[in-house]
């Protein structure tokens, strides 16, 4: 194999690894998105505020991880 072929194979391998990692990271956030999509039982505004804050934090983390990739 020439150096160009080896480099091309290394690039393909790296791209596959990045795609796989992205899918795994997106899958890790699915339970949180599902939990936040359900309405919260009205047990007080404190829980609602906490849930909204956590949702905003999760969205910010997700957006920052997308901008890094």
Domain-wise residue ranges, the chain = 3-68
DSSP single-letter state for residue 42? -
Q: Which two tokens mark 40?
A: 């919260």
Overall size of the chain counted in residues: 69
Q: Per residue in 30-69, pLDDT tens? A: 777 777 777 666 556 777 788 888 888 888 887 776 666 5
| 29: number of Cβ within 10 Å | 14
12: left (phi over 0), alpha (psi -120 to 50) or beta: alpha
| 58: number of Cβ within 10 Å | 15
pTM: 0.41
């Amino acid at each position: 194999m020439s150096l160009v072929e080896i480099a091309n194979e290394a690039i393909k391998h790296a791209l596959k690894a990045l795609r796989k990692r992205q899918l795994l990271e997106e899958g890790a956030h699915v339970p949180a998105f599902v939990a936040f999509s359900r309405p919260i039982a009205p047990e007080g505004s404190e829980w609602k505020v906490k849930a909204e804050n956590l949702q905003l934090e999760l969205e910010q983390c997700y957006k920052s991880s997308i901008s890094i990739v």
